Structure formats: C-alpha cells, structure tokens
Amino acid sequence: MMQIALKLSFVFYGMAVGLTLVGFLLNKKWKFLYSGHSLLAGWAASTAYIISRWYLGGRAPMSNQYESMIFLIWAFVAAFLVFRKFSVRDMEWLSPWTGMVALLALGSASFLESDITPLVPALQSNWLLIHVSTVMTGYGALLLSFLGGAVLLFTDKGQTEKRQGLESITYRSCLVGFWLLSMGIITGAVWANSAWGSYWSWDPKETWSLITWLYYAVAIHLRRTRGWREDKFAHLMIWGFVLVMFTYFGVNYLMSGLHSYGRGR
Amino acid sequence: MSKLINQLASLRFFFIISVLLLVAFIIGGVIPQGQSPEDYKAMLGSLGTLLVMNLRLDNVFSSAWFMLLLAAGALNMLACTVKQWKVLKHRPGVFLSHLGVFLMFIGGAVGGLFATHGILPLETGAPRSDFFLRTGGMAEMPFQVLLKEFNIRYWDDEKHVIHVLKTAGAPGMEQEGVVESVEVKPGQDVQFKSGAPALAVLNFYPNFSIGENGPVSLSDARVNPALTVKQAGVKAAKMSYLFAAHPDFHGMADTGGYRFVYEYRPGQIKQFESRIAVLEDGREKLEKVINVNTPLTYRGYRFYQSGYDENNLNASTLQVAKDPSVIVIYAGFLILMAGLTWAFWKEMAAK
C-alpha cells in the first residue's frame, strides 16, 4: 500500500508534466486543466503515502532528511493547489512546472535512506511534528515563490496581465513562507528550551535559519518601502531560495550540530 | 529627539544593520565556533588563526563587537516601534511585529546578563547542591538534588546470537564459514540444525570478569558481554565462555569441527531516565522522573537529562538552567506572530 502510493505520486506528477506537453503538441485547450488535476491526484497519493508511513511507524514521519523532504514536496504542491483554487487563471500554467519540481525532488529523495527507524530520545516529543511541519510547509511556500519568480523572469514584458498575476503569487507565497518560517524558528526555540534548557544555541542550523529569516525580512521591506517589484523581487526570491536550500541541505552535510539527525544514518 | 528617532528608525539604518548582522551570522555559521587555536591553525593556517583569534571570530556570538551590533539592532527596532506607534491605528500588525523583535533583543540581553547554565553530575544516593557553570567555576543552589535511580529504556530488548562456524577442512568447507545463526536465551538449551552439538546457555555477564569464586559481572554496563555455555545432555561437559568482544577466543573442545561465536546485539535506546528528588533541609520536597524531553522545574531552576556514563549506570548528568529571560523571549514570540498574522492578513486581503 505504502509503496503503491509512492509510485502513484511519481506517476501523477509525471503526468502533470506529460499532459501539458501532449496538450501543447495537439494544441488542446485542456492542456493546463488536466495537468492541474494530475497534480491533485499526485498530491492525494503523497498524502496516502505520508499517512501510511505515519501509521506503520506509529509516529509522525518527520525524523530525517528523507521524511522531511517528502513532507516538503507535499507542502509545496499543497501550497500550489491552494493558490490555484483562488486564482485558476494566474496559476494554471504553473501546473506543469510544479509537477516537474515535485517529480525531480521526489526522485532526489529516493536516493536518501528511507527506512522507518525508531526515534532517538531527543526527537521523542510532540514538538517534532509541530516544528518540522511548520518549517517544511514554509519551505514549500518559499519554493513556490522561487518558482513564481523564476517563471516571471522568463515571461515576456508584453504579457502584462500574466506578469501581474505571477508577481502577486510570488509575493503572497513569500509572505506565507515567511510567516511559517518565523513560526518554525519559534517552535524550534520553544522545543529546544523544553528539551535542553536553552532556546538558542547558535547551532549552525539555527544560525542559517536566522540568516534566511533576516534575508526574507529585508526582501519584504525592500518591496514594501523601496518598490522592488517584478524582476527585482523575482531575483530576491530566487536567491532567497538558494539560502533556504543551503539551510536545509548544506548545513546537514557540511556542518555538524544539534540538527545532525537530519543527515540520516 | 524625533530627528534622532527618525534616523534610528530609518530604512537605511535597518538595511545597514541587517547586512552587518547577515555578515556576522555567516561568519559565525561558516567558521566552526569555540575551537582551540591549534584546530584553527590546522584549518586556516597561521594568518587565518591570527585573524580569527584577534577579531574573536572563534566565538562570534559572544564577542563584544557582535553585542554592539545586536544593541544597534535593538535600537533600530525600538525606534521603529516608537515610530509605528504614531500610526498604530492604521498598521497595528507592523507595530506589533517590530515590538516582538525588539522584545527578543531585550530578552537576549537579559539572558546574557542573568541566565546561568551548567552541568550537574549526580551519583545515586549522593545529593548535591552545587553545579559546574558553563562559563567556568561553580554555583550553589538553595536546595539539594538527589539521584534515586538512572535507567536506560529500550525500544526492543537486547539479543544474544550464537553463530555456528564450520572449521576449514571439513567436507565442503575450504575456509571457515558461518553455517547457522540462532538467537539464544540465558537459562535455555539451544539445538542446531547444522549438526553442531546442542548447547546449554547458562548465564549472561554484561561486564565479565573472573572473581574469587568464578565468573562475575563487574557492573550492569555492557562493557564485556559474555555467555557461559556447556554441551547439553553431556554430564561431564565442562563449562566454557563465549565473549562478544573476543570472538576468536574459543575454549570448547569436542565440538566436531564446529566453532561458536557469540554476538551481542544491544537494544535500541528509547529513553534515558533519571528519577530525581529535591531536598530542602534534608527533607524531600518533590520527586520526578525526567528524560530528554521532560525536565524538572523547581524554584526557577530547570533540570534536564543530559548524559550518562556507560561504565557506571549509577551516575547521570543533568543540565541546569536558570534563565529569567525566557518569559520576555516568549512574549516577543507571541507578539511577533500576532503582528505578522495581522499585517500579512491585511495585505493579502487587500488585493
């Protein structure tokens, strides 16, 4: 059941890309519509996969790099689907790109250690679920702002309406991501205080999340007060997500600290 | 005054502080912190070490220049908060977010000045009231802490496995190899399908040694796990030892070309637990089992399970924290989140 759900999510995310390509080749109107439906199906399969992993392990599946990455992809697609629900026209043609990103990320995750292992003492806390899920959902939203920004840069200046839509998505997902990132850092601090007696230890992961947080805070100020919109803001979001990726992956592999479980075994 | 506030609250000042803080964070995030000069020399060479030691880049986050930077950040946040106060009606969320961050700066300063963190090593039955400060030296608490019991809990029990090896030269065996592996339990006999003689597994010694009256275990710690065994069903059979740490030791005769190797598989640790009590004037006030995510709080002091000694399971190390800044920091967290929610909600709804 668990493996079938995982395979199905691969297939559906692949279809989200494939259907658009076919639609383009045959010049069909449905090209984005079905792509969006496939994403929804892929997301449902991912949900089933996470739930069955949760059930089998008897705990929230968020204890290592593999599990957190599966959740990140889930949150990213969820963020896309939510935004799409509110403005189909602005979002629909991001569907194949979302599918592509989800597919590539799932593929990379499959190289990671995916066994369900018992939790080490430090992770046995309800804060694990709260902390990891907020941070990963935040990363998912910031990934969407990265994607929006990247597509915006390649969109012809003449397509004003399309660009405005993309601009708005990029900014909104940045706000959602920043809110969740703040929440994630705070829940991490509260957890650290209840497990180790200090809410902040300047551990590399903490330091780099603070760097990311401050970067996005500056980006939001630049947009609100200095008018950094469209291409300028898109660049900010692209570089911001590079920071997010470094905080998420780079720190795990290059530095050791309190978050070393992330690395897997 | 208002000119000064305007300057301190200016975006230019915010961007400068942010860039400087980002640079400081990156330096602290890239250069490993708190290492010895020798370690830095190996990593960065002589010139790099000179730079690191003189600029206090080895402890960025407690250096004077970083504190100065934080103070500047706090001033900026305070000025922004004051400035936003004037337009509170229009932008309550923005006001609250800046106030929240300002409180975190204040909390950080309070923590830096008044918080104590330390280590309290305990042994069962020996209460103590002093602990080792993280910054060096000792501190005294107005009460004593007593360790009643330390326990390691496992997800699954430990396992004892005997591997049967057929010695080289036997039919079909060019070199020695494992033909069978069986999980055994002390106190029970074990039969082998491969034809090796049945064994009676007698006792398990976690930390084997030979005492005056034969084999003993020096402690419960799994330092030198050993099994005593003898051939089952043979009255005159001699007792023999199998050591997990010394698989090549083999004291058994007449095994018909078979050799036994003992493997000790430790259980996976679920939790470290200390049952501790607080004593005042020799009288017990409180008892609690603490583990990694469940500390004990008493009169502003918090005690966290932190370490243990695998050679002495009667000892447990606790971390001690007394930090009056927590309340300020948490208030900052709450206000920041309330502010961000308010501000972003308003902005998202506006478009």
pLDDT (tens digit per residue) in A205-223: 999 999 999 999 999 999 9
Does residue B177 sit at the A interface (CB-CB below 8 Å)?
no
* Beta carbons of B11 and A196 less than 8 Å apart: no
Question: What are the structure tokens assigned to A10, written together?
Answer: 């691969």
> How far apart, in whole angstroms, are the C-alpha atoms of residue A75 and residue A52?
17
The closest of A79, A81, A229 to A139, measured between CA atoms, is A79
In this complex, the residue of B22, B271, B320 whose CB is nearest that of residue A214 is B22
The shortest C-alpha distance from B11 to chain A (Å) reads: 8
The shortest C-alpha distance from B249 to chain A (Å) reads: 32
Does residue A47 sit at the B interface (CB-CB below 8 Å)?
no
Does residue A120 sit at the B interface (CB-CB below 8 Å)?
yes
Nearest chain A residue to B322 by CA: give it: A197
B231 residue type, one letter: Q
The answer to whether the CB of A105 falls within 8 A of the CB of A68 is no
The answer to whether the CB of A5 falls within 8 A of the CB of A49 is yes
The shortest C-alpha distance from A192 to chain B (Å) reads: 9
Report DSSP state, residue B168.
T
Contacts of B304 in chain A (CB under 8 A): 195-197
Question: What are the structure tokens assigned to A33, written together?
Answer: 């519509």
Does residue A202 sit at the B interface (CB-CB below 8 Å)?
yes
> How far apart, in whole angstroms, are the C-alpha atoms of residue B19 and residue B31?
18
Q: Which residue has the tokens 């006001």?
A: B95
A194 residue type, one letter: S
Q: Is B38 exposed, middle or buried (0-12, 13-18, 19+ CB in 10 A)?
A: exposed
HSE (side-chain half, CA atoms, 13 Å) at B158: 14
> How far apart, in whole angstroms, are the C-alpha atoms of residue B179 and residue B171?
13
> How far apart, in whole angstroms, are the C-alpha atoms of residue A216 and residue B33?
25
The torsion of the CA quartet B285, B289, B290, B294, rounded to 10 degrees, works out to: -100
The answer to whether the CB of A243 falls within 8 A of the CB of A205 is no
Q: Which residue has the tokens 């920004």?
A: A149
> How far apart, in whole angstroms, are the C-alpha atoms of residue B38 and residue B48?
12
Restricting to B residues 51-90, those with a Cβ less than 8 Å away from any Cβ of A are: 61
Nearest chain A residue to B324 by CA: give it: A198
Does residue A178 sit at the B interface (CB-CB below 8 Å)?
yes
* Beta carbons of A221 and B336 less than 8 Å apart: no
> How far apart, in whole angstroms, are the C-alpha atoms of residue B305 and residue B273?
7
- DSSP-assigned beta bridge partners for residue A11: none
In this complex, the residue of B18, B33, B272 whose CB is nearest that of residue A214 is B18
Q: How many CB atoms lie within 10 A of CB B298?
A: 18
* Beta carbons of B291 and A121 less than 8 Å apart: yes
The answer to whether the CB of A123 falls within 8 A of the CB of A207 is no
Which ranges of A120-203 does DSSP label H, i.e. alpha helix?
126-153, 160-195
Restricting to B residues 248-307, those with a Cβ less than 8 Å away from any Cβ of A are: 268-272, 291-293, 295, 302, 304, 306
Contacts of A255 in chain B (CB under 8 A): 29, 32
Does residue A242 sit at the B interface (CB-CB below 8 Å)?
no
In this complex, the residue of A189, A197, A199 whose CB is nearest that of residue B295 is A197
The closest of B225, B221, B223, B226 to B314, measured between CA atoms, is B221
Report DSSP state, residue B60.
G
pLDDT at A265 over 50: no
Q: How many CB atoms lie within 10 A of CB B198?
A: 12
Q: What mean pLDDT comes out for the span A235-250?
A: 93
> How far apart, in whole angstroms, are the C-alpha atoms of residue B108 and residue B102?
10
Nearest chain B residue to A216 by CA: give it: B18
pLDDT at B219: 79
- DSSP-assigned beta bridge partners for residue B305: B318
> How far apart, in whole angstroms, are the C-alpha atoms of residue B127 and residue B309?
18
Q: What mean pLDDT comes out for the span A131-137?
A: 94
ipTM of the complex: 0.89
* Beta carbons of B348 and A179 less than 8 Å apart: no
Tens of each residue's pLDDT in chain B, 351 residues: 778 888 888 888 888 999 999 999 888 888 888 788 888 888 888 888 888 888 888 888 888 888 899 999 999 989 988 887 877 778 899 999 999 999 999 998 898 889 999 999 999 989 999 999 988 899 999 999 999 999 888 877 889 999 988 877 666 666 777 888 999 999 999 998 888 888 999 999 988 988 888 888 887 778 889 999 988 888 778 888 899 988 877 666 667 778 888 999 888 888 889 999 999 998 999 999 998 888 999 999 999 998 888 778 889 999 999 999 999 999 999 999 999 999 999 888 875
Which of A82, A186, A229 is best to mutate for the B interface (most B CBs within 10 A)?
A: A186
The pLDDT mean for chain A works out to 88
Higher pLDDT: A167 or B256? It is: A167
Question: What are the structure tokens assigned to A7, written together?
Answer: 């395979």
* Beta carbons of A208 and B29 less than 8 Å apart: yes
Does residue A87 sit at the B interface (CB-CB below 8 Å)?
no
